[in-house]
Amino acid sequence: MAEQPTVVVVGANLAGGRAAETLRVAGFDGRLVLVGAEPDRPYERPPLSKEFLRGEMPDGKIYLQPLKYYAANRIELWLGTRATRLRPAEPVVELSDGRVLRFDGLLIATGATPRRLAVPGADLPGIAYLRTVRDAKRLRTVLRRRPRVVVVGAGFIGAEVAASARVLGCEVTIIEMLPVPLGRVLGEEVGRAYAALHTAHGVDLRTGETVAAFRGARRVEEVVTASGTALPCDVAVVGVGVVPEVGWLDGSGVAVGNGVLVDELCATSRPGVYAAGDVANWPHPLFGERLRVEHFDNAQEQGVAAAWRMLGERAPYAPVPYFWSDQYDATLQHVGHASPDDEVVFRGQPGGDAWAAFYLREGRLRAALGLNRPREVFGARRLIAAQVHPTREQLRDEQVDLRRLALRS
Ligand SMILES: Cc1cc2nc3c(=O)[nH]c(=O)nc-3n(C[C@H](O)[C@H](O)[C@H](O)COP(=O)(O)OP(=O)(O)OC[C@H]3O[C@@H](n4cnc5c(N)ncnc54)[C@H](O)[C@@H]3O)c2cc1C
């Protein structure tokens, strides 16, 4: 990079925020601009479906940094501003307010946005999506009145909202398209245990059902399923996945395909342009396939990694992905990359209070999921990183400490 170059980071949340911090920590001394469509400075989304939604957390605690941090570190915050186009032949980003930004380095950290349901009545008031702090504040106000809640989708966001709403004393129904929630990703037995957690807490879980329509006079009053059941509600929360935010890159010369395609160094097909976080799709050397991870740890670490690589670091980005989900008093943790056809080996009884599932392909450990089993999950993470493959007996055996096994290797 030339002297006093400009780095523009588009997307001012977790990946973008951590990247900007890292550029300064790593000694980048040029101009640094963080452009974000939301009016808020970078913050953490995980509490939005958990303690923040339940009103157990002060609003000010979600931010990555105090406002003064950005001024002190000469990070220009251009908030409430959307990048609308990346010019194909010039290093220039066009913005929603008509301004343009010329860059020497560009980081794309535009994340993902909730997939919208396109069924009759989908625009009725009272149908909520949860991604931003503003979404969470609105929903928090509604949940305080203890409404009847229908959650569409039993993925992690839907399940966490359902759990929070139950804790607040709401009546909750979940509609899930699959016969077993998460069955396609984590296997049927794990999916059944996950379902049991919700039914045990009083959730009415309807599987194998989809939404045909929302109905109501002035706001949503019922959700009608494809099988013809009408479920009365005061609020419907839709959590049916997210789509990567890449529309603004059309015609820019940056290759996309389920997100922005990058290499192991977070670099896109266009020189000087990098991507990180939920939007980035990269070839993972350990798993031998491309991954696009939609979880906190990756967004944070890949943001940091991309910043270092923009400054010349050459090590491939190859973490063992990790995520967690808190529902009721259970903590689910997952490491690695599971596939639906993996063999699953259990430690403990799935459906009980604490168990772990290990995912193997051709006898090789690829992923682990634990319910209240952090030792096993982090042990498995070390084993996967070190490419040590314990036997099925060792995985099942309560006496075997997986962390030690990794250390011994
Ligand atoms: C409610 C909720 C709970 C979660 N809980 C967990 C959890 O328990 N565990 C876990 O591991 N993960 C969790 N996640 C996922 C985690 O928060 C995300 O993986 C993480 O926020 C991704 O960070 P990111 O910076 O890549 O993308 P984002 O957080 O999506 O940030 C991207 C930013 O870019 C902005 N943007 C988009 N397009 C443009 C544009 N054209 N111009 C300018 N700005 C733009 C967006 O407005 C957004 O602010 C949760 C997510 C949600 C929504």
Express each pLDDT in 268-311 by its tens digit.
999 999 999 999 999 999 999 999 999 999 999 999 999 999 99
Please tell me the distance between residue 390's alpha carbon and the centre of ligand 1 in angstroms: 35
For residue 21 the two structure tokens come to 């911090």
pLDDT at 324: 96
Q: Which residues are CB-neighbours of 200 under 8 A, at least 6 positions away?
A: none
* Residue owning tokens 């922005």: 260
H or E, element range at 176: strand 171-176
- pLDDT per position as a tens digit, 364-390: 999 999 999 999 999 999 999 999 999
pLDDT at 3: 57
H or E, element range at 114: strand 112-114
* CATH code 3.50.50.60 region(s) in the chain: 6-113+243-310, 127-240
Query: In terms of residues, how long is the chain?
Result: 409
Please tell me the distance between residue 388's alpha carbon and the centre of ligand 1 in angstroms: 33
Are 170 and 161 spatial neighbours (Cβ–Cβ below 8 Å)? no
Please tell me the distance between residue 360's alpha carbon and the centre of ligand 1 in angstroms: 30
Are 406 and 386 spatial neighbours (Cβ–Cβ below 8 Å)? yes
Question: pTM to 2 decimals?
Answer: 0.97
- Start-to-end CA distance of the chain, whole Å, equals 41
Are 19 and 12 spatial neighbours (Cβ–Cβ below 8 Å)? no
Is 237 a pocket residue for ligand 1 (Cβ < 6 Å)? no
Cβ neighbours around 99 below 10 Å, total:
11
Is 259 a pocket residue for ligand 1 (Cβ < 6 Å)? no
Report the pLDDT averaged over residues 177-183: 90
Nearest CA owner, ligand 1 atom 30: 111
In DSSP terms, which residues pair with 136 in a beta bridge?
none
Kindly give the number of the ligand 1 atom that is closest to the alpha carbon of 35. Answer: 43
Please tell me the distance between residue 142's alpha carbon and the centre of ligand 1 in angstroms: 23
The 8-class DSSP code of residue 119 comes to S
CATH architecture of 329-408: 2-Layer Sandwich (3.30)
Kindly give the number of the ligand 1 atom that is closest to the alpha carbon of 326. Answer: 8
Are 290 and 255 spatial neighbours (Cβ–Cβ below 8 Å)? no
Please tell me the distance between residue 361's alpha carbon and the centre of ligand 1 in angstroms: 31
pLDDT at 182: 86
Is 19 a pocket residue for ligand 1 (Cβ < 6 Å)? no
Kindly give the number of the ligand 1 atom that is closest to the alpha carbon of 48. Answer: 1
Cα–Cα distance, 279 to 112 (Å, whole number)? 6
- pLDDT per position as a tens digit, 104-138: 999 999 999 999 999 999 999 999 999 999 999 99
Q: Report the relative pairing of strands 75-79 and 83-86 from DSSP bridges.
A: unpaired
Please tell me the distance between residue 37's alpha carbon and the centre of ligand 1 in angstroms: 12
Cα–Cα distance, 276 to 111 (Å, whole number)? 8
Is 14 a pocket residue for ligand 1 (Cβ < 6 Å)? yes
Cα–Cα distance, 319 to 301 (Å, whole number)? 8
Cβ neighbours around 320 below 10 Å, total:
21
Are 7 and 105 spatial neighbours (Cβ–Cβ below 8 Å)? yes
CA distances from 278 to 161, 180, 330 (A): 20, 25, 25
Is 131 a pocket residue for ligand 1 (Cβ < 6 Å)? yes
Report the pLDDT averaged over residues 44-66: 97
Query: Is residue 2's pLDDT more than 70?
Result: no
Cα–Cα distance, 257 to 344 (Å, whole number)? 30
pLDDT at 41: 98
pLDDT at 185: 83
Is 114 a pocket residue for ligand 1 (Cβ < 6 Å)? no
The 8-class DSSP code of residue 248 comes to G
Work out the mean pLDDT of the chain and round it to a whole number.
Answer: 96
Please tell me the distance between residue 285's alpha carbon and the centre of ligand 1 in angstroms: 25
In DSSP terms, which residues pair with 178 in a beta bridge?
none
Query: Is residue 241's pLDDT more than 90?
Result: yes
Report the pLDDT averaged over residues 309-320: 96
CATH architecture of 6-113+243-310: 3-Layer(bba) Sandwich (3.50)
Query: Is residue 409's pLDDT more than 80?
Result: no
Query: Is residue 1's pLDDT more than 50?
Result: no
Is 299 a pocket residue for ligand 1 (Cβ < 6 Å)? yes
Please tell me the distance between residue 12's alpha carbon and the centre of ligand 1 in angstroms: 9
CA distances from 79 to 82, 100, 120, 206, 344 (A): 8, 14, 34, 41, 45
Is 85 a pocket residue for ligand 1 (Cβ < 6 Å)? no
Fold of the 127-240 domain: FAD/NAD(P)-binding domain (3.50.50)
pLDDT at 351: 84
Please tell me the distance between residue 297's alpha carbon and the centre of ligand 1 in angstroms: 11
pLDDT at 391: 96
pLDDT at 383: 96
Count of H helices and E strands in the chain?
A: 10, 26
Report the pLDDT averaged over residues 85-98: 97
pLDDT > 90 fraction of the chain, expressed in percent and rounded:
92
Q: Is the dihedral of CA 53, 57, 58, 59 positive or negative?
A: negative
* CATH code 3.30.390.30 region(s) in the chain: 329-408
The b/e string for 109-127 (b: 16+ C-beta within 10 A; e otherwise) is bbbbbbeebeeebeebebb
Q: Is the dihedral of CA 123, 124, 130, 131 positive or negative?
A: positive
Q: Edge to edge, what strands does the sheet with 92-95 contain?
A: 83-86, 92-95, 100-102
Question: Which amino acid is located at 386 in the chain?
Answer: A
